[in-house]
Structure 1
Amino acid sequence: MGNLYAVFLLKRVKVTLYAITCIFTVYLTSCKDKPGKEVIAPAVESKKTNTYDASLAINWTNLQLRLIKSTPGYAAPVAARSLAYTSLAFYESVVYGLEGYQSLAGKISGLTKLPVPDSTKEYNWGIAANAAISTLVKELYTTTNDDNKASIDSLRRVSETALKTGVTNQELIERSINFGADIAKAIWDYSKTDGGNEGWNNNFPTSYKVPVAIGSWEPVSNQKIPLLPYWGKNRNFSSLNNTVVPSDPIAFSFKENSIMYNAAKEVYTVAKTLTDDQKEIAHFWTDASITPGGHSFSIANIVLKKEKSKLDKAAEVYIKLGLTINDAFVACWKSKYNYNLMAPITYIKQAISPTWSPYIATQPVPSYTSDNATSSGASAEILTSVFGDNYAFTDNTYQGSLPNRTFKSFEEYANEATIAQLFGGVQYRMANENGQKNGKEIAKNILKLNFKK
């Protein structure tokens, strides 16, 4: 009797299990048939971005600084723009592996959506970043020389080989490469709509008519058209930066002992009595080769290496710095052409000394405000926000050609880069000080973006 009862129970259990299985199967099938009810497989956890070393990003930035130096047309605003977009592509290719961070799609001007990774698949964020940066760099520097193009391809291959070491899943590798490339393509398309596309190809547009008025910019060399006169109309990444403007410059006057006259006289007097250290400072912050924006990224790399940072910290620093430097140059160029103030060399030759020349050559662009000061102020604000006040570092950007310079803080570096323009005889004090203030405001607006979830 006991055996019969046991058999009976066993049959009931089997029937019940069968019924449950049928019901579950029907439920899954019915869910698939109904839009919006598809069953989503559990998310697959990829290794975090901090698994990978920051050297990947640092190597790509170092190569970009070389490209900026050796590719025609990469004036300071153009270089800043390129660094911004590669930083954006880098960030978006690894953001899903960044703890607490989110995509900037829908959060910066004009960027509505971007490719997203498949949450049911695993990705290697280092490989994705390498693919994203290399793909976009090739697009942005398409006119660079063959040696540079070979270096781009070489760095991509070498970095990819290193990142694939120990990874046996070929589908994972291909998936990561494709995701990075898709991000780069989307960022490339987005970049074409900002007003600065192919700016390298038209630094001095012949369509621009130079305004003629007392105190207005006049050519300072054989270059009769000023540099990138329409750049201030470009799209900012932060809409808040559309309204950031410096205080008005001193009222123009040639009258002796007027405030404007004394501002120019200061440039003249300082240049006549430069110390060796002041000359060294002027040379160091000329940044004629890698541009002020490039110098800011060089400093960021110095600090990232000092901190032995991982790829997640590099992504945070680059995205904040890149967006800021771009907007800083847009705002600065807008100011330059709104006020259209003549350069110190022009004023001094007309009103103080016809034979005077500055220590550093003056670039062909209106004076107010200083791009070096704006850029350094913006950069210092970002780097301080990430690494803190009173962060000491040695700037060896020009090691081998100029002596290194050591600073007790990012603020100290910005102040030196700012005053350097006065030592060089290329900027009025007001253009320096108000430019730096403007740069800081621009950086603060970038920091208000919703980087974190």
Structure 2
Amino acid sequence: MRKHIRVIILLNLIFISCKEKKASINITTNHIHNTVDQLTKIMIHDVFSPPVASRIYVYPNIAAYEVLSYNNKSYKTLSKQLNEFKTLPKIKLNNTLNKKLAALIAYMEVSEELVFSKQKLITYKDSLYSNWININKDEFNEAKMFGKEVANHVKLWMNDDKYIETRNMPIHNVLTKDPFSWVPTPPAFMPGIEPHWNKIRPLIMKSADQFKPEKPPTPSFEKSSDFYKELIGVYNIGNKIIKEGNTSEKLNIAKFWDCNPYVSVNKGHFMFAEKKITPGAHWIGICKIACKESNSSFEKTIYAYTKTAIAINDAFISCWDEKYRSNLVRPETLINNYIDDNWLPLLQTPPFPEYTSGHSVVSGAASEILTKIFGDNFKFDDTTELPYGLGVRTFSSFRDAANEAALSRFYGGIHYMSAVKLGLEQGKKIGHYINNSVTFKNK
């Protein structure tokens, strides 16, 4: 009788133990994709400039990557590889730590510090947190503690990159009699954005001018000069595309890669902004597509996002350094003043100097990173612009997409061909340099 009682008690204890054992919080790649998408939506809402948007993408990804790479046999920490990024303090980790969860928490904790609409991100974050607490409170708290510790380490480093100081620097001076110097363009005539972006600390590059491109053709109104030929080239391609109408493939390309968060729309007495993603956001979207197409693991997905974001970040610093050094006038200004005052570019001219093309530099850099990660001839359907009313374009490789993105600026009437070609080369050099200078995977 006593033996039976002992068996029953033992069975009850086993039953209670099993009943009290809580499920683990399952974090998938969709969690990180959805969180990146949420950050993109907030950036569009807040209308961040392309350079600032690149900064907003990169630091949360670095935080997530550092969580995963901590004591990781496959992935190597970026400390002492990124400029002024110190090693994380020694943290004792339990075997039960959910690193994927901690990485996602670190991503959101850093993101929150970078946007204006913090409450939108906090609401999104809190909805996830309450769900995870209900699944396994102990596991969540452990991951949150580690994730926040890494996030705080990254934020301290982030806040020392000179961004805060540039907020108080003077606007770009446009008082000039030189017809070839940049001036604000219609319809909003905005001052040049981020004229001091070259003072932001690069992540990999040694300096903002490390990949300084060769000078553009010497500005001239001489019809035999290379510059004038490029100017007329912009004018002629715009007129040709307009004649072709909506059937023009070049028009489709220009619209697909517009990615201008500063488009102003005039209707009667009203002017309002038409919100769009930035060039960096488009390439972050392509990274997402590549990760999904290749069924990348959570770790590889974070790695791909991080490396791509680093390339985009440094590409903008390099490009903006050249823009405000050469300070070259936009085609629209010269064509309206000296050739045809009724001419309009197919795309609205962004508010900053012309040389080099930001799309070209960023696309060149990002495409080299993604090619290194996923291989050449990686065919994909680019669905990034679907949420913004544009269609789908198919590319045979990342470099194929970069070439088209660069050319789109010439078709759109906002860049000379030199800015496109030399900008693409500038970006490729940055991409190659990052591929050869940073070790993400342990041997």
Distance 1:348 1:152, change over 3 A: farther
- Retained in 1: the 8 A contact 2:67–2:150? yes
Match of 1:134 in 2: 108
Distance 1:157 1:211, change over 3 A: farther
In the alignment, structure 1 residue 452 sits paired with structure 2 residue 441: yes
- Retained in 2: the 8 A contact 1:236–1:330? yes
Distance 1:446 1:116 in 2: 27
- Please, which of 185, 197, 222 is the counterpart of residue 220 of structure 1? 185
Deviation at 1:257, TM superposition (A): 2.8
Q: Deviations over 1:263-291 (max 9, x none)?
A: 01000000011142211111110112110
Match of 2:429 in 1: 441
- Please, which of 208, 233, 254 is the counterpart of residue 172 of structure 2? 208
Distance 1:198 1:307 in 2: 41
Consecutive unaligned residues in structure 2, runs of 5 or more: 1-25, 261-275
Instruction: Supply the AA of the counterpart residue of 1:237.
Output: L
Map residues 284-303 of structure 1 onto 2, 5 A cutoff.
284-288=256-260, 289-303=276-290
Distance 1:334 1:211 in 2: 20
Instruction: Supply the AA of the counterpart residue of 2:75.
Output: Y
Map residues 259-278 of structure 1 onto 2, 5 A cutoff.
259-274=226-241, 275=244, 276-278=248-250
Match of 1:282 in 2: 254
Match of 1:153 in 2: 126
Instruction: Supply the AA of the counterpart residue of 2:201.
Output: R
Match of 1:21 in 2: none
Q: Deviations over 1:392-436 (max 9, x none)?
A: 000111225111111111111111111100111011111011111
Distance 2:155 2:120 in 1: 23
SS of 1:355 mapped into structure 2: coil
Aligned residues with identical type, % of pairs = 30
Map residues 323-334 of structure 1 onto 2, 5 A cutoff.
323-334=310-321
Distance 2:346 2:165 in 1: 32
Deviation at 1:182, TM superposition (A): 1.1
- Please, which of 22, 31, 38 is the counterpart of residue 56 of structure 1? 31
Greater Rg, structure 1 or structure 2? 1
Map residues 1-40 of structure 1 onto 2, 5 A cutoff.
none
Match of 1:420 in 2: 408
Deviation at 1:323, TM superposition (A): 0.8
Distance 1:241 1:198, change over 3 A: closer
Match of 1:28 in 2: none
Consecutive unaligned residues in structure 1, runs of 5 or more: 1-50
Give the TM-score, by structure 2 length.
0.83
Deviation at 1:238, TM superposition (A): 0.9
In the alignment, structure 1 residue 68 sits paired with structure 2 residue 43: yes
Map residues 43-442 of structure 1 onto 2, 5 A cutoff.
53-72=28-47, 74-96=48-70, 98-119=72-93, 121-141=95-115, 143-144=116-117, 146-158=119-131, 160=132, 165=135, 170=138, 172-197=139-164, 206-210=170-174, 212=176, 213-221=178-186, 222-240=188-206, 242=208, 243-274=210-241, 275=244, 276-288=248-260, 289-399=276-386, 401-442=389-430
Distance 1:133 1:115 in 2: 19
Runs of 4+ in structure 1 over 3 Å off: 119-122, 145-149, 155-158, 205-208, 239-242
Deviation at 1:354, TM superposition (A): 2.0
Deviation at 1:117, TM superposition (A): 3.3
Distance 1:445 1:340, change over 3 A: same
Alignment RMSD: 2.1
- Retained in 1: the 8 A contact 2:105–2:144? yes
Distance 2:221 2:397 in 1: 39
Distance 1:96 1:300 in 2: 23
Distance 1:233 1:226 in 2: 16
Distance 1:344 1:378 in 2: 25
Distance 1:138 1:370 in 2: 30
SS of 1:135 mapped into structure 2: helix
Q: Deviations over 1:74-126 (max 9, x none)?
A: 11000011101111011011113644222111111011232443156542111
Aligned residues, how many? 392
